[in-house]
Amino acid sequence: MSETDIKKLIDSAQRALVDGSAKEWTATNVRIGAVEFGTVTTKGRADTQDFIATIKAAADLSPAVQAPVEPTPVVPAVPAPPPSPPLSQAIATHLADLEAAKRDPKTVLESRHSLRILLGVIGDVPSSTLSQDHARAFFDAVRHWPSNATKRPEYRDLDVAEVVALSKANKEPEPAAHTINKHRQRLSTFVQSLLAARVLVHNPLKGIAWMTEHAADADVETGRPFTTEELQTVFETKAFAQWAKKYPHRFWGPILGLYSGARVTEIAQLYVKDIESIDGVAGFHINRRFKGQKIKNKQSRRFVPLAKPVLDAGFLDYVEEVRQAGHERLFPHLPNSTGLGFGRQLSRQFSAYIKSQGVSEEGVGFHAFRHTFATLLDKARETSVDISRLTGHWDGQAPPSVLERFYIDRETLPLRVATLAKFVPDVAVPNYTRGQFAQSLSPADPVGRGIKGKG
């Protein structure tokens, strides 16, 4: 009698248990090692289970036979976590993703700044190791980051850690809570990208409280107004004429800034179609109606009446000449190649000009017109609401029927005209001569895209 296949025998008995045929199960010619069992018949489930146990025991006792081995279950392999890139590489990838997603160049630039501080403070650690301690070190750095650090001689050539250390030693003022929270938002966006890629398992910002913002922090605008002497220096006849003779934005930009309190970008991005007369009042729209235009916030949308000195200086004559030349933008020489706004070049040019005139205090530039406008109207006892309607800070709740499509607000237009009439700076602005910029506004120049040249 040949050796019985133990595995097949036990499998047969177990199948009988499963399908119910174990009531009477029979196996013939059973032999295990030297022991011959012959024909085996079991009666019922318990009898069959006893037979299986006996066969297994006999197999264990027989040196020539091995009991069947239960198959080892296959455990699915756990995928290895992706390799953790160094922080510098993760930052570079994140910034590239922002650019590929067509984020505003200013957003990318600000994110680059915040993440540079993070990298400089905690070092090029594996990005998977970002922790709450790292986040707190970052917040400590931004709380001590000096304003305009890249431009100030004492800071601009230092690395991040050195800037923070010197700022603490110099007891630089802490930024507004709004500024610190903007840094946090940029860091949070970066952290979310790492969480999505499973580079991070836990959010290191979770559990760290946001800075409390106050109403005054919502629209922080630093600087001071021009003094009367400084205004007279800025508009000194010969110097101003020499500086502004080539480009119309140099001539009209400061004049509009002085008599409207508008921000430099709001003026620089004006289109010819933004100049309009509403109910007999000439003015300009500040809004986001045309390509490249930006507004700071929803309160910034407004219609600003043109002050009488601006009209007397010949501003509408210039507008008509731009229209006849075929330009869409009021100041076509100002570029926006970086996407950061049309006002950057005008701001830089004006800052260089006033420094050459002796107005060289750090932080005083085009924005001082805005402070001057609000300060002189405040001295004329105009209310903050009246002033804010002109400057774009007002957050009053006006019904949609009043605001209209382009935020003209006809109901308060006479009030704004009356308020504007109270603005009387002790300075004379130059008059415009028709055709003064005829050569630079030649119809042959590019239309609406910024004319080549430094401006």
In this model, does residue 329 exceed pLDDT 90?
yes
Is pTM beyond 0.85? Reply is no
pLDDT band at 159 (very low <50, low <70, confident <90, very high): very high
pLDDT category at 399 given cuts 50, 70, 90 is very low
| Nearest Cα residue to 252 out of 352, 362, 366, 355 | 366
* 8 Å CB contact between 437 and 331: no
Question: Three-state SS for 125?
Answer: coil
Stretch 222-239: mean pLDDT: 89
Q: Residues 276-288: pLDDT tens digits?
A: 999 999 999 999 8
Residue 395 reports pLDDT greater than 60: no
Residue spans of the domains in the chain: they are 6-61, 87-217, 228-421
In whole angstroms, what is the distance from residue 302 CA to residue 272 CA?
Answer: 16
Question: Among residues of the chain, what percentage have pLDDT more than 90?
Answer: 45
Q: Is residue 407's pLDDT more than 80?
A: no
Does the structure show a pLDDT above 80 at 155? Answer: yes
Q: Does domain 228-421 have CATH number 1.10.443.10?
A: yes
Q: Say what percent of the chain tops pLDDT 70.
A: 82
Give the per-residue pLDDT at 222.
Answer: 52
pLDDT of res. 394: 53
Per residue in 24-45, pLDDT (tens digit) is 778 787 777 666 777 777 777 7
d(CA 226, CA 317): 28
Rg of the chain (C-alpha set): 39
User: Please, which residues bridge with residue 303 across strands?
Assistant: 285
Q: Is 218 exposed, middle or buried (0-12, 13-18, 19+ CB in 10 A)?
A: middle
> Which has the higher per-residue pLDDT, 388 or 153?
153
